[in-house]
Amino acid sequence: MKRGALEGLSVVELGSMVAAPYCAKLLADLGANVIKIEAPGAGDPARHRGPFANDQPNPERSALFLYLNTSKRSITLDATSETGGRILHQLVAEADVLIEDCPPGQLESLGLSYAELSRPNPGLVMTSVTPFGQTGPNRDRRAHPLNLYHVGGYASSFYTPDKAEVRPPAAGGGYLGEYDAGLTAAVGTLGAVMGRRGTGRGRHVDISKQEAMMGLERVEIARLANDPDPTSWRPSVGGLLEAKDGYFLVTPLENHQWQSFMRAMGDPEWSRAEWCQSEVGRMEHAEEIRPHVVAWAAQLTRDEIYHRCQTEGTPAGPVRNVAEVRAWDQANARGFFVELDHPEAGKHAYPSAPYRLSRTPWVGRAAPRLGEHNEAVYGEQLGYSPQELAQLAAQEVI
């Protein structure tokens, strides 16, 4: 078994779908021992979301679940029952970290608040991931990923390519904001774990998904701080362009970037106009500039545009679909995609991690089957007998 950088760190995850499980996944892939708690019978709702491996709907074949839960162990437990609550207390008493995404106040109502859980384990780090955080007027509001995407600043107003008009907000796909919240939660969790070294005492880490998205939406939030009227924002030059074989993105915002872009375009005559020499002038004449740029891009392939822009130092790059990214020689040369074998879903390539540690590699084990580690965790770790486990299963506690 590979030795990860976080080997020895014990984590209990009481989370579902994306944000909290992604936080725990990042720790598990670094070697932490993550025990994932799932509801008896149904498991994490992510198990029932497609796409499914080989297009066969099955809770053990969900691509979403398989990706979000690599390197973890799975147990089933109804933590809302009296017996399940006691068992959760036992698990957390031996853990370094608890990651949970229950609505604010729910664990407290079950006698599982941070104060209660940390009493026998003062070093416990508890990370709570909720839509709006543990405090504030919206703390008790529920929200789906789409709601949070729009209240987090991601779905800002956009300009149409050829007109200085605001178009409706765009819907985000692929649980983008949820992943940002999970990443933020992982950073906060590790910060609390590091802080514990000096005092021996843990912390309650309060994660607001909305704030996580606001914190990572740097461009639009910064723009709004300086000019709250979106109708006054002028479109920038460049952006998304259509080449012969797909789309391409170029962002020549600063003067030196614009000059390099014009060199890539062959120093066209129109670019020598006085109004084209400053960023303000180019923004004011964006509608006049864009047809020239669109016509130029339409004559070239993405690779041709990329190499011309790269040669001149212009911020630019091709827009690749999933199949193209999977076949990309750069990603494959670095071993970014790793094949993992799951007993139900089979062998598939998984994205690994965007970092390389010299002595502690990415751990990368296939996601667990529902309740796969009940016997190991309850029996070997907590000392329950086979008869006790059978009784707990009959009572639907596990």
Three-state SS across the chain? CCCCCCCCCEEEEECCCCHHHHHHHHHHCCCCEEEEEECCCCCCHHHHCCCEHHHCCCCCCEHHHHHHCCCCEEEECCCCCHHHHHHHHHHHHCCCEEEECCCCCHHHHCCCCHHHHHCCCCCCEEEEEECCCCCCCCCCCCCCHHHHHHHCCCCCCEEECCEEEEECCCCCCCCHHHHHHHHHHHHHHHHHHHHHHHHCCCCEEEEEHHHHHHHHCHHHHHHHHHCCCHHHCCCCCCEEEEECCEEEEECCCCHHHHHHHHHHCCCCHHHHCHHHHCHHHHHHCHHHHHHHHHHHHHCCCHHHHHHHHHHHCCCEEECCCHHHHHHCHHHHHCCCEEEEEECCCEEEEEECCCCCCCCCCCCCCCCCCCCCCHHHHHHHHCCCCHHHHHHHHHCCCC
What is the model's pLDDT at position 229?
58
**Average pLDDT in the 64-74 region?**
97
Residue 282 confidence (pLDDT) above 50: yes
| HSE value, Cβ hemisphere, 13 Å, CA-based, for 165 | 5
Supply the pTM of this predicted model.
0.89
pLDDT band at 54 (very low <50, low <70, confident <90, very high): confident
What is the model's pLDDT at position 173?
76
What is the model's pLDDT at position 253?
84
CA 98, CA 219: separation in Å to the nearest integer? 33
**Average pLDDT in the 130-151 region?**
91
Assess contact for 20 and 209: CB atoms under 8 A.
no
CA 349, CA 331: separation in Å to the nearest integer? 12
Tell me the one-letter amino acid at 278. Answer: S
**Average pLDDT in the 344-370 region?**
92
pLDDT in tens, 202-256: 999 999 999 998 888 766 666 666 655 555 555 567 888 999 999 999 989 889 9
What is the model's pLDDT at position 236?
66
Give the number of other CB atoms < 10 A from CB of residue 331.
14
**Average pLDDT in the 81-88 region?**
96
Give the number of other CB atoms < 10 A from CB of residue 138.
14
Closest by CA position to 151, among listed 202, 52, 217, 231: 217
Hey, what domains does the chain have and what are their CATH numbers?
10-217+335-394 (3.40.50.10540), 236-324 (3.30.1540.10)
CA 173, CA 249: separation in Å to the nearest integer? 19
- Quote the Cα angle for 384-385-390, to 5°: 100
Residue 340 phi/psi, 5° resolution? Answer: -120, 145
What is the model's pLDDT at position 230?
52
What percentage of the chain exceeds 90 in pLDDT?
74
Among 79-93, 221-235, 351-365, 376-390, name the one with the lowest average pLDDT: 221-235
Cis-peptide into 51, omega within 30 deg: yes
Average pLDDT, the chain: 90
What is the model's pLDDT at position 161?
47
